Structure 1
Amino acid sequence: MEWTMAPSGMAEAAGKVIAGLLEIGREAYYVGGCIRDELLGRPVHDMDLTTSALPEEVMGLFTRCIPTGLEHGTVTVLQDGYSFEVTTYRTESGYADHRRPEHVFFVSDVKEDLRRRDFTINAICCGLDGVLVDPFGGARDLSARLIRCVGSAEERFDEDALRMLRCIRFASVLDFAVAKNTWRGLLRQRDKLAHIAVERVRSETERIIEGPHPWRGLGLLARSGLLSRGKAPFPWTGSILAAAAAILPGIGELQSARLRWALLLHALGQSAASADELLRAWTFPGATRSAVARVLRVREAWDAALASAPEGDGAEEALRR
């Protein structure tokens, strides 16, 4: 496969890993996000590989390996200064906590491995010959700019409730639409977000707010009602969040993530003190909380100065006093 969006050194190193697996009679492919981003013309920052080789075979073949997650079939292979997660084809079952599978079974068919993945655009793999293995129409959905679950959306979201936020994050970052059946499945399963750790919810929400199309993500979050169903407090109805999204078209122009959060929390009517409490509950680091609170205190001082100014005085005169 010819890579145009990945660093040449990384692509060459990954190709060596795949070639090594092929030489011992096993199948091996590039898989997931690297294929998605290459097809979209977006920069490829890392490459995951999938193989029919068992983890012990992978570790026996390559001299520099890290047993990242042997119970799930994942070995990190170090090659030419790059690291690659190499995962054995697998199926999963028994998601008791709506997050992690209780049972993992290694299989020999790559299509069965792709079947367990979240969205069609992530369920594509490709070999050294450049031929796509795409049993669920992921390339078609990329062309249609559509986020669609592999198989039943309700089942995918029930298995891992964080996928609902990932759905909105991909739609926001890529500026894609969400397929109707996928959206219906999300709405039916949205209460399951209560099972997901606050840190994971915060991480996905950060990627939405700090991404290239945050207003789109905010609109989808408002329509879904997801965040109010999580473990962290989210004291706004969908209509309030939707109104905030509507008046923040310029949020995407702000390069500073902290300014984006400050602007959003201001639009939602939060004071510096209440914003600090909210961000603490969402497990934001102290530096972020302090920076956002400082911006909001400036806003509060400005509003207070305007409120205390005699009628007809300008803002500069009010602040000068």
Structure 2
Amino acid sequence: MSKSSPVTPRSAANDLARRLRDSGFIAYLAGGCVRDALLGREPKDFDLATSATPAEVLKLFPGSNEVGAHFGVVIVKHGGHPTEVATFRTDGSYHDGRHPDSVTFSTPEDDAQRRDFTVNGLFLDPASDEVIDFVGGRSDLEARTLRAIGVPAQRFEEDALRLMRAVRFATSLDFQIETATWEAVQTLAPTLSKVSPERIRDEFSRILVSPQRARGLDLLVDSGLIAEFMPEVLATIGCEQPPQWHPEGDVYTHTRIMLDMLGEHAPLELCLAVLLHDIAKPPTQTVDEADGRIRFNGHDALGAEMAADILRRLRYPNQVIEDVSFMVSRHMQFMNVQQMRTAKLKRFMSSSTFEREMELHRVDCASSNGFTDNYDFLQQKEEEFANQPLIPEPLVTGRDLINLGMTPGPAFKEILQDAQTEQLEGRLATREDALAWLKQRLESQT
């Protein structure tokens, strides 16, 4: 007996479609999975659209999740893969700017018309592999054009998050936004204020982790959308920098070049840290009256506070906020690494964010002065320190201080910190050495 093939998201969706067809219903693959397949990309999810009502879907697939049944959506799990099965429908008015007030089950033609962009309005019959196109999506795919279905303003008024989705799709697909669609985005950008921070955050994050993230940032700025959720970025436009250190131009230009230099799979925290590393340059900018030199004293510390405020406003997870603000707070310290004592350098390099900070530093320099000496130095030190932990287990602990007659108190931390420094510097190699150092230290204080 041959071993059966594993169920994939695509095969799971095809199996469900076959069962729907066998029961007398129309069942098509719909939306993004069709778009991505036609572009030669591996779709992440496979959604189905069907003539079966939610009640009929639930009867056919008992135990499915009917959370979205009011809008004609049922989540069916098959082979370990959840598939969204949506009934062909026409949406009523959108008074809340997100959900239709009513839903009428309808035809594939009507269902395609309610979707956001033509490239997302395609169906595919899995039985014949025929693409079913009621909205001109195939020609827009071939022209690499993002076009709203029907009247653009109506599509965006139904759900203002579609404004962010327009930028996200243009960025991730590297498509041009059709003129009437783009003009509607610009006109209706202020309506993004109706959308929850969490939904904006999710679309923004997808834009930032796209390889075309710098273009995505430009689109957010040029559309007016960035003003609705991160207006601090606008102050970086035209914020001049010292030409001897930043021949590339103002803070915004510097930032977008850095974003462009990041790798294709740069993690979100790194992308956010790059975007926000100089966010406090505008409020800290000073110009020396004597020589005209531009300075940004303290922009790293203030930038860390601003970054944390911005990310909290967008409801990012606490760990993301902590990591990004920490990276912003330290980005200026890289200029001092060659002067650091070994212990301080090891502590600096032991941070959980250090590798991401290294990449931030690399693109910071590469986009401006081109200096690589500190980066090269740190790479050399990483090799040098590779054979042992940067921060090894301490040779002595507070228990040793108690055994030597000390009473627990604030001095404990200072003494143990000094002992660790001696260890990191290589002057204490064994526990015996450390205990002898402790005894001498305590005797010198009495």
After TM superposition, the score normalised by the length of structure 1 is: 0.87
Larger radius of gyration: 2
| Cross-structure match for 2:304 | 272
Structure 2, unpaired ranges of 5+: 1-5, 238-250, 282-298, 339-372, 375-446
| Cross-structure match for 1:86 | 85
Displacement of 1:17: 1.1
Corresponding residue to 2:108 among 110, 120, 142: 110
Q: Tell whether the 8 Å contact from 1:215 to 1:252 is kept in structure 2 after alignment.
A: no
State the one-letter code of the partner of 2:109. K
Change (3 A) 1:82 1:181: same
Displacement of 1:174: 1.1
Q: Secondary structure of the equivalent of 1:237?
A: helix
Task: Give the distance between the partners of 2:315 and 2:139, measured in 1 at CA.
Answer: 38
- What count of residue pairs does the alignment treat as equivalent? 299
Change (3 A) 1:179 1:278: same
Change (3 A) 1:226 1:147: same
Displacement of 1:204: 0.5
Residue 27 of structure 1 pairs with residue 26 of structure 2: yes
Q: Secondary structure of the equivalent of 2:331?
A: helix
Residue 294 of structure 1 pairs with residue 305 of structure 2: no
Q: Tell whether the 8 Å contact from 1:219 to 1:242 is kept in structure 2 after alignment.
A: no
Larger RCO, structure (CA 8 Å, separation 6 or more): 1
| Cross-structure match for 1:310 | none
- Regions of 4+ moved over 6 Å: 303-306
Change (3 A) 1:224 1:253: same
Residue 261 of structure 1 pairs with residue 261 of structure 2: no
Q: Tell whether the 8 Å contact from 1:251 to 1:263 is kept in structure 2 after alignment.
A: no
Q: Secondary structure of the equivalent of 1:236?
A: helix
Task: Give the distance between the partners of 1:254 and 1:44, measured in 2 at CA.
Answer: 17
Task: Give the distance between the partners of 1:93 and 1:292, measured in 2 at CA.
Answer: 42
Q: Secondary structure of the equivalent of 2:95?
A: coil
Displacement of 1:280: 1.1
Displacement of 1:267: 3.8
Residue 167 of structure 1 pairs with residue 166 of structure 2: yes
State the one-letter code of the partner of 1:179. E
Displacement of 1:251: 3.0
Change (3 A) 1:141 1:162: same
Deviations for 1:69-104, whole angstroms, at most 9, x for unmatched residues?
A: 110011111222222111111111221121111111
Q: Tell whether the 8 Å contact from 2:258 to 2:274 is kept in structure 1 after alignment.
A: no
State the one-letter code of the partner of 2:272. W
Task: Give the distance between the partners of 1:238 and 1:33, measured in 2 at CA.
Answer: 36
Task: Give the distance between the partners of 1:304 and 1:227, measured in 2 at CA.
Answer: 34
Task: Give the distance between the partners of 1:225 and 1:115, measured in 2 at CA.
Answer: 27
Displacement of 1:139: 1.3
Residue 131 of structure 1 pairs with residue 130 of structure 2: yes
1:1-321 equivalences in 2 (<5 Å) = 9-107=8-106, 109-127=107-125, 128-230=127-229, 233-237=230-234, 240=237, 243=253, 244-246=255-257, 248-253=259-264, 255-268=266-279, 269=281, 271-302=303-334
Q: Tell whether the 8 Å contact from 1:32 to 1:122 is kept in structure 2 after alignment.
A: yes
Structure 1, unpaired ranges of 5+: 1-6, 307-314, 317-321
Displacement of 1:235: 2.1
Q: Secondary structure of the equivalent of 2:119?
A: helix
Moved more, 267-276 or 39-48: 267-276
State the one-letter code of the partner of 2:274. L
Task: Give the distance between the partners of 2:147 and 2:164, measured in 1 at CA.
Answer: 13
Displacement of 1:242: 5.4
User: Percent identity, aligned pairs only?
Assistant: 35
Q: Secondary structure of the equivalent of 1:132?
A: strand
Q: Tell whether the 8 Å contact from 1:225 to 1:237 is kept in structure 2 after alignment.
A: no
Root-mean-square deviation (Å): 2.2
Task: Give the distance between the partners of 2:159 and 2:145, measured in 1 at CA.
Answer: 20
Displacement of 1:252: 4.2
Q: Secondary structure of the equivalent of 1:76?
A: strand
Task: Give the distance between the partners of 1:242 and 1:32, measured in 2 at CA.
Answer: 35
Q: Tell whether the 8 Å contact from 1:254 to 1:260 is kept in structure 2 after alignment.
A: no
Task: Give the distance between the partners of 1:214 and 1:153, measured in 2 at CA.
Answer: 24
State the one-letter code of the partner of 2:234. T
Q: Secondary structure of the equivalent of 1:261?
A: helix
Task: Give the distance between the partners of 1:213 and 1:238, measured in 2 at CA.
Answer: 22
Change (3 A) 1:152 1:33: same
